[in-house]
Amino acid sequence: MRGEASRMADRESRDSFAARLRDAGEDTWRIGNEMFTVTALLDENIAIEHALTDPSRSADDKKTLLKAIIGGQAHPFTMEILSDLVARRWSRAKDIANVVEDFGVDAMMYYADHAGSTPTVAIELADLHSALIKLPALRAKLNDDQATAAARIKLLHTLLDGSGFDKVTVRLAEQATDDLRGRRYLATVQWLISKFSRHMGESLITVTTAAPLNKEQIAKLIGIYSARLNRRVHINSVVDASVIGGMRIQVGDEVTDNTVVAQLRHLQDSVRQSV
């Protein structure tokens, strides 16, 4: 949980640059990649992270240090955003890396907008999520912080190569295992799906079933939840054979679990309580 200073720094900085980042067009691809590189740099170098957020140092001093670390290689807009971030107050040093990563994802979403592929990326991320549900061994290896990032990315491409996924989908999938950031891979993909849904002005509804939903079922769910929430919704259909049957529906933090496995679990609990 971020403290108030970090939340303000995040909100104010991202709001102030949003319009310009949206209008950066083709450059957002480069900016997003540079933000991901800086996120990894900060995650791997706690001393640098502390130096760039040290409240006892002046903003100019931190900007000078940033320039010395990054050099003249980054896009000018990347440097402008990072300079703004290091000049702000932070509740915790590590929070700055979270916001740099958020800027990276924002840039990738704006690039997808520029390329006209935003809905495609959202669907492909959901497809990746569903595929990984069925591949626990692969998923575990993508979470393995004892393996090198290069090895994890190579393993990921055994799944992605030949998929025809958009390059934004591939880059986000790579970033999720390249810099684990203490998260589980599947949770990161779910987070990315949620961000794309919000970006498109939709609420994300995650529906888990034993078999894929057909078009009629998806349309019915969209109708029900669009009316209930009074906004557009995006159905993230997750296929997980272990639920046996029924549906588990998650809307934000609210979960309605009517799967067979949940009902069996409830029955077992009832039997234990009655013995």
Per-residue pLDDT of 149-205, as tens digits, reads 999 999 999 999 999 999 999 999 999 999 999 999 999 998 998 899 889 888 778
Mean local confidence (pLDDT), 11-27: 96
Most confident of 51-65, 189-203, 243-257: 51-65
User: How far apart are the C-alpha atoms of 35 and 37, rounded to whole Å?
Assistant: 5
Using only C-alpha atoms, what is the Rg of the chain?
21
Copy the structure tokens of residue 240: 């997980």
pTM for the model: 0.81
Q: Assign 112 to helix, strand or coil.
A: helix
What's the pLDDT score for residue 147?
Answer: 96
Alpha-carbon distance 175 to 185, whole Å? Answer: 10
Confidence bin at 257 (pLDDT 50/70/90): confident
- Nearest to residue 106, comparing CAs of 31, 209, 178? 31
| 205 conformational bin, left if phi > 0, alpha if psi -120 to 50, beta if neither | beta
Residue 237's pLDDT band, with cuts at 50, 70 and 90, is confident
Sign of the dihedral through C-alpha 9, 12, 13, 18: positive
Residue of 114, 134, 122 whose CA lies nearest to 26: 114
Structure tokens at 18: 């949003």
Cα-Cα end-to-end distance for the chain: 42
What is the distance between the alpha carbons of residues 227 and 141, in angstroms, rounded to a whole number? 41
Q: What's the CA gap between 117 and 110, in Å, rounded?
A: 10
